Structure 1
Amino acid sequence: MKYDFVRLLCIMLTILLTLSIFQMFSPKIASAASANIVNGIQFKDTAGNVVHAHGGGMIKVDGYYYWFGENRNPNGTFKAVSAYRSSDLKNWEFRKNVLTSSSAAELNVSNIERPKVIYNEKTRKYVLWMHKENGVNYNEARVAVATSDTVDGDYTYQGSFRPLDHDSRDMTVYNDNGTAYLISTTRVNADLNIYRLTPDFLQVESLVTTLWSGQYREAPAMFKKGDVYFLITSGATGWNPNQAKYATASSIEGTWSNTINFGDSTTYGSQSAYVIPVEGTQTTSYLYLGDRWAGAWSGPVQDSQYVWL
């Protein structure tokens, strides 16, 4: 019995010593810190200035999230597409105004809305798509395109046009593993068109499908989870928020489901702008970026707030 007890004691001491040595020399595993984001406010950048990225879009490059959005003059006309970046989606550094009203003559007095950036691996260009109006009314109903060699560099304006002669207002673009699509409202917001872009992402190649004719859906935002594509839209109620809906498809160019409600009756007082996947170590989450437009309380667009879900 004495021998067995001594032998057991030696084994236990050996185990404890081994664990101690392992803890001393093994790398420390840091636990992820939570970051609370307050909704329904005007976000501030790291310099303490209001973030102006309304109707925006986001792209992740080299560990940073880049957020592009509308920056308007006091009268609501186009001032700039502003770019911010963050490594944690909470602390946003202002990078620069990547496109301004002086970037091209037709932008001098204009409206530029819902800017979105996608990257073309073949041309190695970042391509910025926008909704463009003349700054006076919404009769132009065009898309505009600009390009840059770097994600937050100066974008070169490539011009504006109506996609295949269709009017185009609220819009987004989606890069599906090298094939890009434009999703935009048409027929004065009554319908939603999906177009395939040319391989360089600078023009529209073909009309793929028209969705929900006569249902007046706007503010499109597309993302993919697994093998399923999701398309979020809002109703057309001006600046006032409404019930958002989503639809699904197994192919962008295939058949889309009917629309299904999500959120509450006002989508928590917001309108969809973008959805970005956030890839963690264990799972992928999907971050909804929404705008709480100041026009709903008769304020200027620059006073609009952000709602993230």
Structure 2
Amino acid sequence: MVLSLLVLAAGLLGAPAASAAPVTVTNGSQFTDTSGALVHAHGGGVLKVGAYYYWFGENRNADDTFKAVSVYRSADLKTWEHRNDVLTQSSAAELGRAKIERPKVIYNSSTGQYVMWMHKENGDDYAEARAAVATSSTVDGNYTYRGSFRPLGVHMSRDLTLFQDDDGTAYMASAARENADLNVYRLTADYTGIGALVQTLWPGSYREAPAMFKRNGVYFMVTSAATGWQPNQQKYATATSVAGTWSGLANLGDSTGYGSQAAYVLPLQGSSATSYLFMGDRWAGAWNRPVVESRYVWLPLSFPSATTVSLSWYPQVTIDPATGVVTGSGTGSAYETLVARHSGKCADIPGSSRGDGVQLTQYSCNNGWNQHWSVLDLGNGYATLIARHSGKCLDVADASTADGAAVAQWACNGGTNQQWQAQAVGGGYVRWVARHSGKCLDVVSGSTADGAAVKQYPCTAVANQQWLRKAA
């Protein structure tokens, strides 16, 4: 899936971008573009053209049907400008009601065309399992839809990726046979068709979400298991040639990919290093919400040896496009439990409800997702606490400043009543202080009972306002 870095004439690209300064990206967050709208580039890939990175991805309707393949442009990988919806429902009759997933784009220097491949379904089910192709003479122009098909006329094709080798040979890898197999195909010289089936990797292993890249002559393939929207163990394999013998699958990251699924691996080449950035989707389908509410997880890959790769969690990642250096920072885990000091019980949304306004309680710790919290650093000394099972934020009801005001989950809206400061109180414990009121998350009356309410009260030194953050 790694794409060669292309340098085109300035006349094709407009004014060059200024040299980008280092930026910091918060994991588990949603991005907004320069107009303030959410970035919808799910399942996507990145192509560097000149001084800019172009991020293509899925932009779906609320019912998860196809709306557009959108492209965004950035010089620093954080400040994204929406450039165009390059493919839409009106681009072709068969896209009027469809599902388009995992769009990837590469450039063919011989034909002067940008070529997009994607997974296409009919919008109702996953029975079509087809690959689709579109082309454009400009990276962010309108793409001409070339149709959909099963590779070589017979192979199912679902999650897919593209990889362009150093010699210009291009490959497409896609999940086949109801996801049981992963097929690797060599594309035709113009990149718009299938030249040959190179090989089938790990038959019967049920892998999807492929992401392919090359480092120092070694090919890497990252994939996930096929578990629907639920995150799972990412794995990788290596080979010294695309057509050669690939290694067995080895684990990458934790058992859930830190709550995400691989979309792309971006090589970031700069003046002093070449780093490799894992780009994953934290799919909102995991909490029964539409794809447009999904979040992103970006993490630096590290390489203990020439043929091994590892992935560690960092709440934040700093990217320096000029030098090519990508570093992780911060403490904590992808998800945490919050354990009350006085009772040893966990902050819990009762019944795993996904409804707005369901009030927070304490309950015996059981590792349920309704006790898992994503602590999203806002960069201002505060964080939002997002319930894993619902994707909703911990909220002081009605932004009340009163003692005893209810604390509940609510759709995230950026309000100061959804922002919390972790104040260390010693022994590894913190107090969670609401920004809007300055009051603390408190287990009412110091109760040790299951189901005891958690509300806001003036901050004191009591143990029922002290919480231990533990990796979930």
What residue is the counterpart of 1:142 in the other structure? Answer: 130
- Structure-2 separation of matches of 1:305 and 1:93: 18
What residue is the counterpart of 1:28 in the other structure? Answer: none
What residue is the counterpart of 2:216 in the other structure? Answer: 226
2:61 to 70, 73, 78: 73
Q: TM-score, normalized by length of structure 2?
A: 0.58
- Structure-1 separation of matches of 2:25 and 2:226: 28
1:162 to 150, 165, 179: 150
What residue is the counterpart of 1:133 in the other structure? Answer: 121
Q: Secondary structure, in 3 states, of the residue corresponding to 2:24?
A: coil
- Structure-2 separation of matches of 1:113 and 1:77: 10
What residue is the counterpart of 1:208 in the other structure? Answer: 198
Amino acid in the other structure paired with 1:172: T
What residue is the counterpart of 1:291 in the other structure? Answer: 281
Contact kept? 2:73, 2:83, Cα under 8 Å: yes
Contact kept? 2:22, 2:76, Cα under 8 Å: no
2:163 to 158, 171, 174: 174
Q: Secondary structure, in 3 states, of the residue corresponding to 2:126?
A: coil
Q: Secondary structure, in 3 states, of the residue corresponding to 2:286?
A: helix
What residue is the counterpart of 1:242 in the other structure? Answer: 232
Alignment CA distance shift 1:295-1:123 (3 Å): same
1:94 to 72, 78, 82: 82
Contact kept? 2:21, 2:76, Cα under 8 Å: no
- Residue 304 in structure 1 maps to residue 294 in structure 2: yes
Q: TM-score, normalized by length of structure 1?
A: 0.89
1:106 to 76, 82, 94: 94
Amino acid in the other structure paired with 2:106: I
What residue is the counterpart of 1:123 in the other structure? Answer: 111
What residue is the counterpart of 2:336 in the other structure? Answer: none
1:257 to 247, 252, 259: 247
1:42 to 30, 46, 49: 30
1:18-50 per-position Cα deviation (integer Å, ceiling 9, x unaligned): xxxxxxxxxxxxx98431101101111111110
- Structure-1 separation of matches of 2:139 and 2:163: 16
CA RMSD of aligned residues (A): 1.0
Q: Runs ≥4 in structure 1, deviation > 2 angstroms?
A: 31-34
Amino acid in the other structure paired with 1:199: A
- Structure-1 separation of matches of 2:42 and 2:61: 13
Contact kept? 2:20, 2:76, Cα under 8 Å: no
Matched positions, count: 279
- Structure-2 separation of matches of 1:189 and 1:242: 15
- Structure-2 separation of matches of 1:35 and 1:119: 27
Q: Secondary structure, in 3 states, of the residue corresponding to 1:215?
A: coil
- Structure-1 separation of matches of 2:280 and 2:97: 26
Contact kept? 2:73, 2:80, Cα under 8 Å: yes
Cα distance, 1:306 vs structure 2: 0.5
Alignment CA distance shift 1:250-1:195 (3 Å): same
- Structure-2 separation of matches of 1:52 and 1:245: 26
Structure 1 unmatched runs, 5+: 1-30
Alignment CA distance shift 1:32-1:111 (3 Å): closer
- Structure-1 separation of matches of 2:253 and 2:20: 28
- Structure-2 separation of matches of 1:45 and 1:59: 18
Q: Secondary structure, in 3 states, of the residue corresponding to 1:102?
A: helix
- Structure-1 separation of matches of 2:27 and 2:84: 24
1:209-259 per-position Cα deviation (integer Å, ceiling 9, x unaligned): 001111101000000111101100001111010110110010011110001
1:146-184 per-position Cα deviation (integer Å, ceiling 9, x unaligned): 000000000000000000110010101111131110100
Q: Secondary structure, in 3 states, of the residue corresponding to 2:23?
A: coil
- Residue 184 in structure 1 maps to residue 206 in structure 2: no
- Structure-1 separation of matches of 2:248 and 2:209: 17
1:97-117 per-position Cα deviation (integer Å, ceiling 9, x unaligned): 000010000000000000000
Cα distance, 1:262 vs structure 2: 1.2
By relative contact order (CA 8 Å, sep 6+), the higher-ranking structure is 1
Structure 2 unmatched runs, 5+: 1-18, 300-472
Amino acid in the other structure paired with 1:159: G
Task: Determine what percentage of the aligned residue pairs are the same residue.
Answer: 67
1:66-100 per-position Cα deviation (integer Å, ceiling 9, x unaligned): 00000001111000000001001111010010000
- Structure-2 separation of matches of 1:184 and 1:307: 22
- Structure-2 separation of matches of 1:33 and 1:136: 45
